[in-house]
Copies of this chain bind each other. A is one copy, B any other.
Amino acid sequence: MPTNAMALSQRARSQRTLQVALGERSYPIHIGPGLLGDPAWITPHLAGRQVMIVTNETIAPRYLELVRRGLPADLEVHELVLPDGEATKTLACVSRIWDALLEAGFNRRCTLIALGGGVIGDMVGFAAASYQRGVAFIQVPTTLLAQVDSSVGGKTGVNHPLGKNMIGAFWQPRAVLIDTATLATLPAAEFSAGLAEVIKYGLIRDADFLAWLEEHMAALRALDPEALAWAIERSCQIKAEIVAADETEQGVRALLNLGHTFGHAIEAHQGYGSWLHGEAVGVGMLMAADLSRRLGWLGDAEIKRTQAIIDAAGLPLAAPADMGVEEFLVRMRLDKKNIDQSIRLVLMRALGDAEVYDDTPAGLLEACIQDYPRK
């Protein structure tokens, strides 16, 4: 077999494609190693000749040239390199994208490529949603968290000093390209943060996947390619199913927020970026598990399993020492899921079976927050 054909055949074996089924707005998620330099994956999703690759200072030296080489030569390609970090996920930073698009004279048929983690994806998605009332964009996530969560499903936006992701839009990408090879350069703490979202899919929807994760956590942290491929594929499958059933979070999509109401409060209180999103969500899922136990839904054995897998993923177990009950509640009352005055939470009936719950007695929630371990 000639080398090219062999390479293609290997690619075909290790590459897989899922579909997010949203009618006219449907799009593919391509998963595999080495997708970035290959024009086959991006070209079919371009809206026109004008393309802007938006990335950050950390990712640019690693992958920008590779993505650029994977684009056809006859395009008008611009690049924009933003600062890195959750603290940059602001309207001011999105404005820099709009300025760059207008300075380059980009019209409505342009395509933005979001190359980076969740912060870049959320900002570029919102920039695309609101540039000339909506242009095309492609997600190229380079962190585990973005690959299994934020790049899929069309949630875009920025933080506000008074709340996380408060300004934004539902805006679906034309495609998601997940090059699993990029995880080789991801810092260990960020990899662990991504695992929090992988574990979340098991906790909310798939007890078998949770058991598989318990067994393969060491292999995942050692970047075993087959374990990684399955963890990402199964996570994206669950996310794509839920998003297809409820694009704008009127119902079942809220399940994806397990641990996020507590977690967002931690992130906002500590200042975005001092805790990684996945670290805060990990603690948030443990707090949600504890509250589920107080409601009589989970037993001690389930609490122990949840703690053990969060711990095995290399994530913190304790909440910040300087957050009292009121510091949590004031942020949680602002959560987007809330209806009028009540705090809406995602809790677990069993491991692998979460539900949206509006009727937590206030005293139970306060006791849960009060008693939860601090460090």
Shortest C-beta distance, A204 to chain B (Å), equals: 20
Copies of this chain, whole number = 2
Q: Which of B109, B131, B132 contacts A340 (CB 8 A)?
A: B109
A196 on the interface (CB 8 Å rule)? no
- Are B155 and A336 within 8 A (Cβ)? no
Please count how many residues in chain A sit with their CB below 8 Å of the partner chain's CB atoms: 42
A187 on the interface (CB 8 Å rule)? no
A95 to B50, CA, bound (A): 29
A333 on the interface (CB 8 Å rule)? yes
A168 on the interface (CB 8 Å rule)? yes
A49 to B341, CA, bound (A): 10
The residue among A102, A109, A132, A166 with the most chain B CB atoms within 10 A of its own CB is A132
A105 to B48, CA, bound (A): 41
Of A11-19, A34-42, A156-164, A208-216, the segment with at least 4 beta carbons within 8 Å of chain B is A156-164
A109 to B129, CA, bound (A): 21
A170 on the interface (CB 8 Å rule)? yes
A-B contact pairs, 30 of them (CB 8 A): A48-B340, A50-B340, A98-B167, A99-B162, A102-B160, A102-B163, A102-B166, A102-B334, A103-B162, A107-B336, A107-B340, A108-B336, A108-B337, A108-B338, A109-B340, A126-B130, A129-B169, A130-B130, A130-B157, A130-B167, A130-B168, A131-B166, A132-B168, A133-B156, A133-B157, A133-B249, A134-B169, A134-B170, A134-B248, A169-B169
